[in-house]
Amino acid sequence: MRKNLGIQPALFPMPVVIVAAYGADGNICAMNAAWAQICDMDKIALFIDSDHKTTKNIMETKAFTVSIADVANIEPADFFGIATGNKMPDKFERSGCHAQKSEFVNAPIITDFPVTIECELAEEINTENMHAIVGKIVNVSADENVVGEKDKILPEKVNALIFDQYRNGYYAVGEKVGQAWNAGKGLVK
């Protein structure tokens, strides 16, 4: 029997990503965002409020990075979601993370996280129901130990965090359980 639960943000899993951009002063601002999604082969959408310091920086510099948070860096990843750059100008320094400038966009790569998507601002969408930042993916960089054959990311090596919106928990991405575009082939016949 099914139970009606009312209105809830009941999509699971949600990736935990860290969005980073430079401010006009050159300082790094980073935030934890669980509401992000690939929206084309070369685009990513971030559903983040316009009042975030990181959002303001993205609008100024027209560039940002999106890093996949991993279990090894759960403490700074969570901190990036707890603290606000609007009230804590040294937020990035307090995190203990390290960064380098992207070779492809005017944005920082947080080197502690295993995978980073480097983006140029494609558009800002602001409607009555949604605010989103859409980025054009210019490059993906990754720690060599999470890259496999044909330069493909190995999810089991990334040990990515996912966010549980039901109870505000973090979980790790688990084992591979099937092959896409193959597991359902038996039903085609």
Ordered by start, the domain boundaries in the chain are 14-144+152-174
Q: What is the pLDDT along the chain (189 residues), one digit of tens a residue?
A: 999 989 988 888 899 999 999 998 999 999 999 899 999 999 999 999 999 999 999 999 999 999 999 999 999 999 999 999 989 989 999 999 999 999 999 999 999 999 999 999 999 999 999 999 999 999 999 999 999 999 999 999 999 999 998 888 999 988 888 999 999 999 998
Q: What is the pLDDT of residue 5?
A: 87
Distance CA 94, CA 88 (A): 9
Distance CA 101, CA 105 (A): 8
Instruction: Give the domain 14-144+152-174 fold.
Output: Pnp Oxidase; Chain A (2.30.110)
